[in-house]
Amino acid sequence: MSKIKLNLIIISCLLIQATYSMAVTDESQFFDLVSRGNQMDWIGKRLTVGWTKDRCIAFESMVINKVPDIRYSRLVLPYRKEANRPQTGKRSHRRRGERKEQPGRQKEPFDPRSIKIVTADILLQHQKLIRDNYQLQLVEENETICWRDSKLWSIKPRNPNRNRLFKVWIDSETGILLRVEIKGQRNQWLSFLTQIQFDPQSILEEITQFKALEAGDKKQESRFVSRSEAEKALKRELILPERFPSGFKISQIELMDLSPTPVAHIRYTDGLETISVFQNQGRRLSRRDRRDRDLDSHDKDGNTVVPDKKRGRRNNIRKEKISDVQVTIMDRTDVHIYRWTRDSVNFTLIGSLPESEMAQIVESFINNP
């Protein structure tokens, strides 16, 4: 082998090593910064804007972070006076936190307070999974966001078939997440932080206000359980898939007390993406199902297609056979929902992975004896 060739090989190896080191450095720097931001006391206002194909919503929230474990967020804009809103039927029930019991199809009251995500925590909690499944790249060293110097990272799935893209701007000095942009298949979310304060007195005052609000708020506790506890509650073994898409692991099992039988919610994550599997026992036939049955029609491949007449747009409901089991498939903006029943167990799979991967998960569930 000539000397030139040998030198070229060495240079190539060094370049690969350098690129890898840079990537590792980028990742380490990212998590170091996020970790630092999580250890800071601060309050700020966060504006969040979301777009879908035909809608746009925006709101402003006050967020607070006080180490070691206080993280609050509440909406401040737009503010609506209670008196201006009619207290009728479902909404008045919802406001009092009651469940309106009535026959027929029921809609579970939506308790928006239950939606609480502390991403900085999640980022740190699933650090290893994120490192394994996503490529973090420092795109911009110095970008001004909210009058503060920030570093811009792009987070892309390593799997080329997945297309969720995250852009995160982190305060260079404090490590606070200043701005986040998430692009999905059909929607996009943008949130950015303004009016950050580090004044301890203001933070304490805000915490006092938050606690006063929280005192009057009946919180719904999640029941996270082990697999054996879940099986005990369900009185049968949990059915899990033979295989799951690479990179995903069970993150939590939650027991949901829904009538008539408890439901096990098994959550898989690859660090940033979540796939939910719900399973319970019993017959499932809703009015919607009956309506679907009445509207059944077939496409050119012989699959059942149920047009959602109410929406009349992208939200088609299809019925397909996967491993000889009839599966109802619904598309809701960026998530796919697969529902099927086997041996009296009802399954619902929700996730944003491409349809091919979702169908493989269903198949894997069905084929697991």
Ranges within 63-92 binding another protein (CB under 8 A)? 63-65, 71-80, 82, 85, 91
Query: Considering the complex, what minimum distance in angstroms separates the CB of residue 17 from another protein?
Result: 32
State both tokens at 147: 């009058």
Tokens for 357, please give them.
């991967």
CA 129 – CA 269 distance, rounded (Å): 8
Q: For another protein, which residue of 18, 95, 99, 195 counts as binding (CB under 8 A)? A: 95
Q: With binding defined as CB under 8 A, does residue 267 bind another protein? A: yes
Whether the Cβ atoms of residue 170 and residue 34 lie closer than 8 Å to each other = yes
Give the footprint of another protein on residues 8-27 (CB under 8 A): none
Of 25-33, 140-148, 230-238, 277-285, the segment contacting another protein by CB under 8 A is 277-285
Q: Which of 105, 218, 300, 309 binds another protein (CB under 8 A)?
A: 105
> Considering only residues 152, 251, 319, 320, which one is a binding residue for another protein as defined by CB under 8 A?
251
Total of residues contacting another protein (CB under 8 A):
93
Between residues 16 and 258, which has the closer beta carbon with respect to another protein? 258
User: How many angstroms separate the Cα of 356 from the Cα of each of 15, 245, 248, 318, 352?
Assistant: 36, 11, 16, 15, 11
Nearer to another protein, 189 or 325 (CB): 189
Report how far apart, in Å, the C-alpha atoms of 198 and of each of 64, 114, 195, 227, 248 are: 10, 27, 10, 42, 38
CA–CA separation, 231 and 252 (whole Å) = 14
**Residues between 133 and 162 that touch another protein (CB under 8 A):** none
Within positions 278 to 297, which residues make up the interface with another protein, using CB under 8 A?
278, 282-289
For position 218 contacting another protein by CB under 8 A, the verdict is no
Does 216 interact with another protein (rule: CB under 8 A)?
A: no
Binds another protein (CB under 8 A): choice among 33, 42, 46, 131: 46
Q: Which of residues 338-367 bind another protein (CB under 8 A)?
A: 339, 348, 350-351
For residues 145, 26, 159 and 129, what is the CA-based torsion angle, rounded to 10 degrees?
Answer: -100
Between the CA of residue 313 and those of 1, 139, 163, 189, what are the distances in Å? 65, 38, 23, 22
Distance CA 315, CA 134 (A): 30
β-partners of residue 169 are 152, 179
Nearer to another protein among residue 308 and residue 363 (C-beta): 308
